[in-house]
Chain A
Amino acid sequence: QVLLQESGPGLVKPSQTLSLTCSVSGVSISSGTYYWSWLRQPAGTTLEWLGRVSSTGGINYRPSLNSRVTVSLDTSKNHFSLDLRSVTAADTAVYYCARYFSGWDSDYFDYWGQGILVTVSS
């Protein structure tokens, strides 16, 4: 059974760095079939993809956040991480980690963490 679990601080001060970790069980993040992704959802709105990384070195980021976001893998711990720098109140959201399957003719987010609320406030 594939399980993902987010962890990290629930409160971050403005201008600081938001850092989250997603622990994965039931599958190795070294598998090249998947991308390991971060998304977020501000209260009452839709979902927004932030970035993804694969064990084969593929990395993509949301263009509007490209200069502030880093996603990285730690295969020894079977987890992956998100760093979002210089946060403002607009970065307050529930953050999700998810597995992204990339196939011949279909790509989708098939497994998700439960989500973690991160509030940016002084």
Chain B
Amino acid sequence: DIQMTQSPSSLSASVGDRVTITCRASQSISTYLNWYQQKPGKAPKLLIFAASTLQGGVPSRFSGSRSGTDFTITITSLQPEDFATYYCQESYMAPYTFGQGTKLEIK
């Protein structure tokens, strides 16, 4: 299985801050990397697919990038509704592993 190592596991930030979350794949996955946002008691929501393509309706303050097997999601100018848990997920091969998650909390 491909291992997805996500960091940090938690992050405190303030409204208006810029934050970056990183995900490293254990092998090459090209751009088969997606990012999801999950709020407590809710299903995950697709934010970014193919490493850097914003899903429709997702605000432009979210962006994704890739450097080799390292992937990042950046949120510029954090809004109150952005405080949630974020997961990366590889879609290169089954079992389509998710990262362990990054809980973004209000400082």
Contacts and interface: CB of A to CB of B under 8 A. Distances in A.
A46 B98 contact: yes
Interface size class of B (residues with CB under 8 A): 20 to 34
Please indicate which of the listed interface residues B36, B89, B91, B96 has the most CB atoms of chain A within 10 Å of its own CB: B96
B94 A49 contact: yes
Interface size class of A (residues with CB under 8 A): 20 to 34
Given A46-B100, A47-B98, A112 B43 contact: yes
B50 A48 contact: no
Interface residues of chain B: helix, strand, loop or mixed (majority): loop
Interface in A28-51: 45-49
A98 B101 CA distance: 19
A112 B32 CA distance: 19
Interface string B8-46: 000000000000000000000011101010000011111
Interface string B63-107: 000000000000000000000000101010011111111000000
Interface of B: 1, 30-32, 34, 36, 42-46, 49-50, 53, 55, 87, 89, 91, 94-101
6 contacts: A47-B87, A47-B89, A108-B46, A108-B89, A109-B89, A112-B44
Given A49-B94, A112-B43, 18 more contacts: A46-B87, A47-B44, A47-B87, A49-B97, A49-B98, A62-B95, A63-B1, A63-B94, A107-B32, A107-B91, A108-B46, A108-B89, A109-B36, A109-B89, A110-B46, A112-B45, A113-B43, A114-B43
